[in-house]
Amino acid sequence: IFKYNLSLCSSGQSNPTFYLQKGGQAFVLRKKPHGPLLPRAHKVDREYRVQKALFSAGFPVPEPLLYCSDVSIIGTEFYVMQHVQGRIFRDISLPEVGPAERSALYLAMIETLALLHSFDLQSLGLQGYGRGPGYCKRQVSTWKKQYDAAAHTDIPAMNKLAEWLANNLPPDDSEESLIHGDFRIDNIIFHPTQARVLAVLDWELSTTGHPLADLAYTTQFYFWPASIKGLGQGSILETPSFEELVSTYCRCRRISTTLSNFNFFLALSYFKMAGIAQGVYARYLIGNASAENSHEFAKVVKPLAERGLELSKSSTQHSTSGELFHQSRKGQEILLKVKQFMKQHIYPAEKEIIKYYTECRNSEDRWKKPPLLERLKELAKAEGLWNLFLPDVSGLSQLDYAQIAEETGRCVFAPEVFNCHAPDTGNMEVLHMYGTEEQKKEWLEPLLEGKISSCFCMTEPDVASSDATNMQCTIEREGNSYVINGKKWWSSGAGNPNCKVAIVMGKTKNSSASRYKQHSMIIVPMDTPGLKLIRPLSVFGYMDEIHGGHFEIHFNDVRVPVSNIILGEGRGFEIAQGRLGPGRIHHCMRSLGAAEAALEILCQRAAQRQTFGKKLYQHEVVAHWIAECRLSIEQARLLTLQTARKIDMLGNRRARKEVAMTKVVVPRAVLKVIDCAVQVCGGAGVSQDFPLAFMFAYIRTLRLADGPDEVHLSTIARWELLDQSKKLTAKI
């Protein structure tokens, strides 16, 4: 073998691979790495065996030529195969080709994967190649053991993910196909000019097991954490889409496009990637890794594990046949319970609760909660219908919650009954994501228990607050305290006597920093001296007692301990970004429920009343309004669900454009429905006898309160231009 001209042709993390040349002939040699190895890893004899079987069956692999177990020749076992001439794409976004060719190459890749999974193990002569049924269970325990053996620091997300996987194994874990184990575009040699797979490489991790594990692994880059760059997998593809790839795979295998438990396989993929990264780093530490950048692998283990955990919570079914918005079984169960609760307890309580607020309007009790509402809260809590908005507490995805929130949005006070009401939801998210252990104990726990409520103080009367860099309220450090001075208004919920804490945004002195690093958020107990409720603000004449009102609050030398700062000085915008995520589309989800309620009122009225000899709905213009309302609701709901799904899959940051679109589209659609309902109800529609006037006032504020439409439109345009420029670069 030493007569050959040998050069290293791959810097992969697994078996070192060499290019061999003799005269006009080219070969590839793969060998075990030197040094101590993880158990069961780097079995080149298995690679040789599986390639031989597949080559004989006509599957595209390099023809294996010889296997040598004699370690005296080059120091380890090795095998030699034919060299295949063609294209290998190292960057998964395939920047070398245009979108159409990229799509064709990816589809060829996925068809090849489907072909691999279609082989019968017996006819390949690979009986006993794997270890029999129970692949997923073994994968979880093998990667856990390998991870534990290689771990250099404690990563709680990795342990949580391992636990979730072990407890959520798919019921069809006995399914067995030949699987590759590392099926990626950079393990494929394509024809030099055509979108055709010539050879699939690197069979080190091949075995028999559940084919969806391969599919999830191959498509996992669609969900790649944005924080990990520079390891060759930083970008998601516009074309082909995830759905296109998966539906092509299902078509080729003639299986249903509804993939049960796909979230398990995606989570498993991320677990495995994190385990691999940890292994590479461990090898680097002992000086035994084959790639130059192996020291960087330590940094990626945590974000990979965290993404795996997020994916584990996403919808348990993925469908590519139009049923994109499947709720998990848990989501469906809770939705059903919420619907029953609404029917049994909420709707029957509506009259009494509205009466309470009407009668108390001019008394001191106006800001207090009606006793019936408190009883309903206890009941909901006892039934486990509590804090459903927070995925880490409820175990629900945003997609699950979207449909539940819509249900609760049908009645104005229902979200509070389930402890899912603004602004407490946003504040709880902030404390959950950014609070210290002490802050969580003191404020988050009682909020989650519904013992106290809170308000959020950002907007100021003296400056245009849609640009939050304008905030003038100051938060100045003096010894062990921060001193707050300034005016805030529109602090929703501050009138509620149970509102015990405010999260206040203000300017900390740091003029040298960027505009986005000068503001901070701080926790201020409402009974701190110097904090004064000045007046409630009306919304189209309503004082909105149900939501605890919207108050102007002044802060005069309000002093709180330094430990009350959230996340640190100058981190206010970072927190605001987090707060602007899922919490903010919860409004949209709920308002769709209001639209459904309004359309119901419209239709009932149109069927009851008669003008000029026919029922209102028999006038074609009214019938068309009904149709238009239904169109608006369905369109707005689809966008909301799509956004929820994207947040689940890719996180808040990657769903920013969709979040902004949802915030513009939904209030517009809902207002249109309420407006039609008002029109059909005539004078009654704007009176206190119908909820429509209050609904209109409340939903109209969403076009301001959630940030003005214009700001969202600018965000959408910015992202659209960026997306278009990416497409253009790809074409060039």
Ligand X SMILES: Cc1cc2nc3c(=O)[nH]c(=O)nc-3n(C[C@H](O)[C@H](O)[C@H](O)COP(=O)(O)OP(=O)(O)OC[C@H]3O[C@@H](n4cnc5c(N)ncnc54)[C@H](O)[C@@H]3O)c2cc1C
Q: Which of 466, 467, 462, 484 is nearest to 475 (CA)?
A: 484
Using CA atoms, how far residue 436 sits from 441, 523, 565, 567, in Å, is 9, 12, 9, 8
Tokens of 597: 């309620």
- Is the Cβ of residue 423 or residue 578 nearer to ligand X in the bound state? 423
- Is the Cβ of residue 635 or residue 714 nearer to ligand X in the bound state? 714
- Is the Cβ of residue 219 or residue 492 nearer to ligand X in the bound state? 492
Q: Is 708 in the site for ligand X (CB under 6 A)?
A: yes
Q: How far apart are CA 202 and CA 182, in angstroms?
A: 7
Q: How far is the CB of 382 from ligand X (least distance, A)?
A: 29
Q: Would you give the distance in Å from CA 715 to the centre of its chain?
A: 19
Burial class (CB in 10 A: 0-12, 13-18, 19+), 169: middle
Q: CB under 6 A: which stretch of 26-34, 385-393, 485-493, 659-667 binds ligand X?
A: 485-493
Instruction: Scan residues 550-569 and list those touching ligand X (CB under 6 A).
Output: 550
Q: How far is the CB of 705 from ligand X (least distance, A)?
A: 4
Which of 93, 707, 712, 715 touches ligand X by CB under 6 A? 707
- Is the Cβ of residue 160 or residue 703 nearer to ligand X in the bound state? 703
Q: Would you give the distance in Å from CA 54 to the centre of its chain?
A: 38
- 3 state SS of 554: strand
Instruction: Scan residues 270-299 and list those touching ligand X (CB under 6 A).
Output: none
- Is the Cβ of residue 179 or residue 665 nearer to ligand X in the bound state? 665
Q: How far is the CB of 489 from ligand X (least distance, A)?
A: 8
Q: CB under 6 A: which stretch of 169-177, 569-577, 591-599, 706-714 binds ligand X?
A: 706-714
Q: How far is the CB of 552 from ligand X (least distance, A)?
A: 11
- Is the Cβ of residue 329 or residue 718 nearer to ligand X in the bound state? 718
Q: Is 388 in the site for ligand X (CB under 6 A)?
A: no
Q: How far is the CB of 662 from ligand X (least distance, A)?
A: 17
Which of 533, 711, 716, 730 touches ligand X by CB under 6 A? 711
What are the backbone dihedrals phi and psi of residue 196, each rounded to the nearest 5 degrees, phi first?
A: -135, 135
Q: How far is the CB of 469 from ligand X (least distance, A)?
A: 11
- Is the Cβ of residue 367 or residue 456 nearer to ligand X in the bound state? 456
Using CA atoms, how far residue 46 sits from 54, 66, 130, in Å, is 12, 13, 10
- Is the Cβ of residue 562 or residue 717 nearer to ligand X in the bound state? 717
- Is the Cβ of residue 247 or residue 474 nearer to ligand X in the bound state? 474
Contacts of 469 (CB under 8 A, 6+ apart): 515, 516, 518, 519
- Is the Cβ of residue 420 or residue 602 nearer to ligand X in the bound state? 420
Q: How far apart are CA 470 and CA 485, in angstroms?
A: 15
Binding mask 211-240 for ligand X (x = CB under 6 A): ------------------------------
Q: How far apart are CA 635 and CA 423, in angstroms?
A: 27
Burial class (CB in 10 A: 0-12, 13-18, 19+), 8: exposed
Which of 15, 233, 397, 492 touches ligand X by CB under 6 A? 492
Q: Is the dihedral of CA 706, 707, 710, 714 positive or negative?
A: negative
- Amino acid in the structure at residue 81: M
Q: How far apart are CA 595 and CA 193, in angstroms?
A: 54
CB 75 within 8 A of CB 81: no
- Is the Cβ of residue 579 or residue 645 nearer to ligand X in the bound state? 579
- 3 state SS of 558: strand
Q: How far is the CB of 633 from ligand X (least distance, A)?
A: 23
Tokens 């939501």 identify what position?
547
- Is the Cβ of residue 31 or residue 656 nearer to ligand X in the bound state? 656
- 3 state SS of 512: coil
| Per rule CB under 6 A, count of chain residues that contact ligand X | 21
Q: How far apart are CA 682 and CA 662, in angstroms?
A: 30
Q: How far is the CB of 466 from ligand X (least distance, A)?
A: 3
Q: Is 80 in the site for ligand X (CB under 6 A)?
A: no
- Is the Cβ of residue 278 or residue 715 nearer to ligand X in the bound state? 715
Residue 81 forms beta bridges with which residues?
28, 64
- Is the Cβ of residue 165 or residue 457 nearer to ligand X in the bound state? 457
Instruction: Scan residues 422-481 and list those touching ligand X (CB under 6 A).
Output: 423, 456-459, 464-466
Which of 189, 266, 539, 678 touches ligand X by CB under 6 A? 539
Which of 9, 121, 285, 704 touches ligand X by CB under 6 A? 704
Which of 48, 78, 284, 490 touches ligand X by CB under 6 A? 490
CB 408 within 8 A of CB 415: yes
- Is the Cβ of residue 617 or residue 696 nearer to ligand X in the bound state? 696
Q: How far is the CB of 306 from ligand X (least distance, A)?
A: 30
* End-to-end Cα distance, the chain: 45
Q: Is 418 in the site for ligand X (CB under 6 A)?
A: no
CB 638 within 8 A of CB 589: no
Q: How far apart are CA 685 and CA 674, in angstroms?
A: 9
Q: CB under 6 A: which stretch of 96-104, 106-114, 222-230, 486-494 binds ligand X?
A: 486-494
Tokens of 655: 């769903």
Binding mask 592-631 for ligand X (x = CB under 6 A): ----------------------------------------
- If you ran DSSP here, which 8-state letter would residue 442 be given? I
Q: CB under 6 A: which stretch of 18-26, 240-248, 488-496, 519-527 binds ligand X?
A: 488-496
Which of 177, 591, 701, 715 touches ligand X by CB under 6 A? 701
- Is the Cβ of residue 341 or residue 555 nearer to ligand X in the bound state? 555
CB 61 within 8 A of CB 82: no
CB 492 within 8 A of CB 550: yes
Q: How far is the CB of 114 from ligand X (least distance, A)?
A: 48
Q: CB under 6 A: which stretch of 29-37, 76-84, 652-660, 705-713 binds ligand X?
A: 705-713
CB 444 within 8 A of CB 400: no
Which of 15, 233, 705, 712 touches ligand X by CB under 6 A? 705
Tokens of 251: 């078509």
- 3 state SS of 441: helix
CB 471 within 8 A of CB 459: no
Largest CA distance in the chain: 102
Q: Is 538 in the site for ligand X (CB under 6 A)?
A: no
CB 279 within 8 A of CB 204: no
Decide the pairing of beta strands 474-478 and 481-492: antiparallel
Q: How far is the CB of 663 from ligand X (least distance, A)?
A: 12
Q: CB under 6 A: which stretch of 291-299, 348-356, 602-610, 701-709 binds ligand X?
A: 701-709
CA geometry: angle 644, 649, 650, nearest 5 deg: 100
Q: How far is the CB of 464 from ligand X (least distance, A)?
A: 3
Encode 191-220: b = buried (16+ Cβ within 10 Å), e = exposed. eeeebebbbbbbbbbbbbbbbbbbbbbbbb
Interface residue list for ligand X (CB under 6 A): 423, 456-459, 464-466, 490-492, 539, 550, 701, 704-705, 707-708, 710-711, 714
